[in-house]
Structure 1
Amino acid sequence: MTATLSKPALKIGPYQVDTPVVLAPMAGITNVAFRRLCREYGAGLYVCEMITARAVVERHPGTLHMMTFDEQEHPRSMQLYGVDPKTMSEAVKIIVGEGLADHIDTNWGCPVAKVCRKGGGAALPYKRRLFANIISACVEAAAPAGVPVTAKFRIGIDDEHHTYLDAGRIAEAEGAAAVSLHARTAAQRYSGQADWSYIAKLKEAVTTIPVLGNGDVFTADDALRMVAEAGCDGVVVGRGCLGRPWLFGELEAAFAGREIPKGPNLGEVARVLRRHAELLVEHDGPGKAMRDLRKHMAWYFMGFPVGSELRRRFAMVSSLAELDELIGQLDHEAPFPDAAEGPRGRQGSPGKVTLPHGWLDDPDDPSVPAGADMMHSGG
């Protein structure tokens, strides 16, 4: 732990991140309500859901609503997806010109089939010149406002096509303020175990900007172990905080060398759930908020003694009044279960990554993939 704590504070451009922890952008999860809930527990950098550059340029109403930050949220971090240097540049100019965000992260880790088969997400860093052109365009567009640009990517497309070392070196050379590696390939999706040794290799290759690690950080101990084993400058937390926003308090304590707080009992979890509901209602109105909340129920109650019928009713909740009635039926004294410490969220199975025809022929082809720009934000 001493070695971990002796590291200098994480800096992303001009911003010092005292607790070296970043909330990963997750589609349908990291909206302003969830980010605020997490921030109430601990310091760090909290990134909003993925925003598509095309949707920003076209002023898509749903995307503009997603680009919402809390008044106390600083720096405001936004993840941007795109495949065209010109579109990405235009979107960044809008974002920084209108003061919509203080930090822009670029998405090169999405393993979703509909994205990769068009050359976007985790497929794109294989095209080294195109990747360099996009990072360069974003950095140049953000520079007048002093907004740092970062890049998050995976090990590569599959075991035969690793791209992370090139991606890291290119991002560093083109002026990115930091890089993050999800230590899985696109073919792995979220299955199996993340291999943190790749984070260590990236840290050896990228020497002038922070390198952050992502993958299988489910507890504060995991975070300390990743930093110790991989030598990275901080951790990116995704699925580990699903139904566990208090994880950020545990991470803050761990990195400060304090005792890690004990997990909450079921009564405290119910209070957090109720707070989450209130924040969602404030952001989206009661109808959409309750629909959005339903997917969080299994994560909040993971490992707790909640009967199947009560779980079913929570998963169909439609109002705050109904939520309160259901919360009243919980055993508020039930302690935090050991079973809740493991993996959570999507895992699935590995699979072949479908790519555009001829995609692997020439890694130095700077052509923009046809049809990969998306209007829909959030993943």
Structure 2
Amino acid sequence: MTLTALDSKPLRIGPLVLDVPVVLAPMAGITNSAFRRLCREYGAGLYVSEMITSRALVERTPVTMRLIEHHESEDTRSIQLYGVDPKTVREAVTMLVAEDRADHIDLNFGCPVPKVTKRGGGAALPWKTSLFRAIVEGAAEAAGDIPLTIKMRKGIDDEHLTYLEAGRIAEGAGVAAVALHGRTASQFYSGQADWDAIGKLKETVTSIPVLGNGDIWAGEDALRMMEQTGCDGVVVGRGCLGRPWLFGDLAAAFRGETTRIQPTLGGVGDAIRRHTELLAEFHQEEARACREMRKHMAWYLKGYPVGSDIRSGLALMSTLEELDGLLAQLDRDQPYPGRDAEGPRGRAGTPKRPSLPDRWLESRELNDDQKANISAAELSHSGG
């Protein structure tokens, strides 16, 4: 059976109801308030913040307090937390709830970055069953009526899978939904996501929504994932880099429409300009916004025939005036290039042996040395 608008249903995450079952995945340095607002202008869904380190939040560092801010137009304030100490994570959740700073909280157990996994954080943490259980149960209790969800990977590698057991623990702890990226930490973002694993998790976790993540590049991919796995919604990460209109495509796909947003080069230029404006408002500094936008340019222009001089200029621009001058040189009528503008973007990495603490895989429980060292894993990195 092909999934149609009649088959798809609103996604319920605790008291939250999403007419379009789509979640923006947290991405460090990407999913700040400016990018979330831009994506919302194209489509609908749940837009999650950059990953916030629980310790930094409890300590109220200025950068962290800035990152948890939401624009008044963001009617559902969603924050992802990362932490390895149950007490600190609980304190961070308690703070968000007590100070009315979030309508949804997500816990990150999917980060594959070596600086995190080598200290037992991210995708490495669910291997330690008691630690994982303590973090999730404490956070869920502290969240109260605020829906708490978790995002995770399949496991450390194919020999050390954790997702089914972690899903059962999370379900038992009272979380509102679980999301699975169908890759292991060792895969990073390479190869293809294992959608069959998402289906297995859906068969295992039956009382709460299961969301699928990995290789959603177009609206058709989201429909195909839900049909193949039975999952209740999708999480979109790298597919929207330089393509905020993907959320419009996804909304149309779930409505059963076949029309997709396929911008001309002029439309891409308009998105670049709007993104930069929003960043300038967020940072309250034009120069910083322009510097941050440089990394987005290759994603936005992927597949479009744009001269090297303009590309180089966009990668170096430092003012809105300079940006406007460069965008004015684009051939605004240049049509959408099709598949050349789609597909993977960002660094996929290559499969590699995960960096882990000493003797991490010897036991599912922490030894004394690991207990003493694991707090150092609370670093700010992207959430897998």
TM-score range, shorter chain: over 0.9
Paired residue secondary structure (1:79): strand
| In structure 2, distance between residues paired with 1:368 and 1:5 | 50
In structure 1, the residue matched to 2:299 is 299
How far the C-alpha of 1:162 sits from its partner, in A, is: 0.4
Partner SS state of residue 27, structure 2: coil
TM-score scaled by structure 2?
0.95
Query: Residue 261 of structure 1: CA displacement?
Result: 2.3
2:262 aligns with 263
- Whether the aligned pair in 2 keeps the contact of 1:4 and 1:224 (CA below 8 Å) is no
Residue 327 of structure 1 aligns with an amino acid whose one-letter code is L
Residues 138-149 of structure 1 mapped to structure 2, 5 A cutoff: 138-143=139-144, 146-149=145-148
- How far residue 4 of structure 1 moved from its aligned partner, in angstroms, is 6.6
Residue 370 of structure 1 pairs with residue 369 of structure 2: no
Q: Determine the C-alpha separation between the residues in 1 that align with 2:302 and 2:221.
A: 19
Secondary structure in structure 2 of the residue aligned to 1:350 = coil
Q: Is the 8 A contact 1:106 1:149 kept in 2?
A: yes
Conservation of the 8 A alpha-carbon contact between 1:54 and 1:373 = no
Distance across 1 between alignment mates of 2:372 and 2:244: 38
Change beyond 3 A, Cα 1:124–1:289: same
SS at match of 1:187: helix
Q: Paired residues, what number?
A: 377
2:27 counterpart letter in structure 1: M
Matching residue of 1:41: 42
Task: Name the structure 1 match of 2:313.
Answer: 313
Q: CA deviation at 1:342?
A: 1.5
> Structure 2 matches for 1:228-243, cutoff 5 A?
228-243=227-242
- C-alpha distance after superposition, 1:321-353 (max 9, x if no partner): 000000011010001112012111121211110
Letter in 2 for 1:222: D
Match of 1:286 in 2: 286
Q: Is the 8 A contact 2:20 2:251 kept in 1?
A: yes
1:251 and 2:240 are equivalent in the alignment: no
1:360 aligns with 2:375: no
**2:104 matched to 1:103?**
yes
Conserved? CA contact 2:8–2:254, under 8 Å = no
Write the distance in 2 (CA, Å) between the matches of 1:372 and 1:90. 15
Distance 2:276 2:198 in 1: 36
**1:173 maps to what in 2?**
172
Q: Which amino acid aligns with 2:98?
A: G
- Preserved CA contact (<8 Å) 1:130 1:368: no
Q: Is the alpha carbon distance of 1:373 and 1:178 closer, same or farther for their aligned partners in structure 2, counting shifts above 3 Å?
A: farther
2:53 counterpart letter in structure 1: T
CA shift, 1:375, in A, is: 6.0
**C-alpha distance in 2, partners of 1:336/1:70?**
32
Counterpart of 2:373 in structure 1: which amino acid? Answer: A
- Cα distance 1:37–1:369, how it changes in 2: closer, same or farther (>3 A)? farther
1:163 is aligned to 162
Matches of 2:9 and 2:130 in 1, distance apart? 33
Q: Do the aligned residues in 2 keep the contact of 1:4 with 1:228 (CA within 8 Å)? A: no
| Equivalent position of 1:61 in the other structure | 62
Q: Which amino acid aligns with 2:353?
A: K
The answer (yes or no) to whether the contact 2:155–2:185 under 8 Å persists in 1 is: yes
Distance 1:262 1:151 in 2: 31
AA aligned to 1:194 is A
Please say if residues 248 and 261 of structure 2, whose CA atoms lie closer than 8 Å, have aligned partners that are also in contact. no
Given that 1:43 and 1:248 are in contact with CA atoms closer than 8 Å, whether structure 2 keeps it comes out as yes
Q: Report the counterpart of residue 12 of structure 1 in structure 2.
A: 13
Amino acid at match of 2:236: V
Once the two structures are superposed, residues 131-168 of structure 1 have per-residue CA deviations (whole angstroms, 9 ceiling, x without a partner) of 0110000011111xx11110000011001100000111
Q: Does the 8 A contact of 2:193 with 2:214 survive in 1?
A: yes
CA contact (8 A) 2:189 2:349 kept: yes
Q: Is the 8 A contact 2:83 2:378 kept in 1?
A: no
**Closer, same or farther: CA 174–118 of 1 in aligned 2, 3 Å:** same
Aligned with 2:106: secondary structure? strand
Query: C-alpha separation between the residues in 1 aligned to 2:276 and 2:142?
Result: 37
1:70 maps to 71
Do the aligned partners of 2:176 and 2:208 also contact (CA within 8 Å) in 1?
Answer: yes
Distance 2:226 2:5 in 1: 7
> Any unmatched runs of 5+ in structure 2?
none
Instruction: Give the equivalent residue in structure 2 for 1:153.
Output: 152
Matched, 1:322 2:325: no
Q: Secondary structure at the match of 2:111?
A: coil
Percent pairwise identity: 58
The superposition leaves residues 156-201 of structure 1 with CA deviations (integer Å, 9 ceiling, x where unpaired) of: 1001100000111111011110000000000000011111000000
Q: Retained in 1: the 8 A contact 2:239–2:344?
A: yes
SS of residue paired to 2:361: coil
1:25–1:64 Cα change, 3 Å: same
Q: Deviations over 1:201-222 (max 9, x none)?
A: 0000000000000000011111
- Tell me how far 1:369 sits from its aligned partner: 6.0
Q: CA deviation at 1:307?
A: 1.1
- Pairwise CA distance, 1:359: 1.2
TM-score when normalising by structure 1:
0.97
Q: SS state of the match for residue 212, structure 1? A: strand
> Is this contact kept in 2: 1:122–1:154, CA < 8 A?
yes
Deviation readout 1:293-326 (Å, 9 max, x if unpaired): 0000000000001011211110011000000000
Q: Which runs of 5+ in 1 are unaligned?
A: none
1:69-218 matched pairs, under 5 angstroms: 69-143=70-144, 146-218=145-217
Contact preservation (8 Å) 2:4, 2:256? no
